[in-house]
Amino acid sequence: MTRPPVKERDARWLAGLGALLIDLDGVVYRGDVPLPGATELGPTLSNLGIDYAFVTNNATLTPDSYKEKLLGMGVAVDPERIVTSAIATVEHLKRLSPAGGNVCVVGEQGLIQALSDAGFNVTDSDPAFVVAGLDRNLTFQRLVAATRGIMGGAAFIATNTDRALPVEDGLWPGAGAIVAAIATATGVQPTIMGKPEPTLLQVALRRLGARPQDAAIVGDQVQTDIRAGIAAGMATILVAADLAEDVPGISADLVVRDLGELLDLLRRAR
């Protein structure tokens, strides 16, 4: 796929698109409400011969749980097409420690289960790693456990550093707020698995068997989604939502109102 220099409304390069990596929160849905184009996304992409996966920094749910959440909105998807920052985190830790090890977790079931299924022992006792992500049941004691683990020598891993989570009635604090608290307490900056680092997208591309130069990412945040796509060598498509703030020196290859508009452009391009 060859695309021209950045021209927000010039979408001719979509004709050569082979795969899409699509963010979930703020692109497919907000909270439990599907956004325009969500229900027609999978069937349309399949009809157009475009492979796809959903890529999310949100590690609170397992792929099976995301499947059920999406199905409740009328979006049918195979869980193998759902790649979370928890999955990227597990792949990273397995490279560092193939035999597993103790992991202190600040996060929810999606992250805990991914680590447990991969053979890691989720415990606050003598952790080799501290992994932090979004935790909507966060307690002060969780922050204490993470801080003590890192100060005791554990490597600090963040699933992501998103500052906000889009929901039906606005924005909630994201995982980045929690990660920042731990970093402030310890003076240690984490290794980040999710966007804006390219790791999560690279995992998804390998799962699809797609090349970066033939793929594009669709996201609603320049600071995370678009930066990650650029870092991974992919084309970038921005959904102009309330988190789509301008970042100096960083621009998407295409800007759309929503998935519905993107699907219309894809149909015309093919």
Question: Could you list the active site residues?
Answer: 23, 25
3-state secondary structure 97-151: CCCCEEEEEECCHHHHHHHHHCCEEECCCCCCEEEECCCCCCCHHHHHHHHHHHH
Give 90-93's long-range contacts (Cβ < 8 A, gap of 24+): 90/114, 90/115, 90/117, 90/118, 90/120, 91/199, 91/203, 92/157, 92/191, 92/193, 92/199, 93/118, 93/120, 93/129, 93/131, 93/157
**What is the rounded CA–CA span in Å between residue 198 and residue 187?**
24
Is 103:111 a contact under the CB 8 Å cutoff? Answer: no
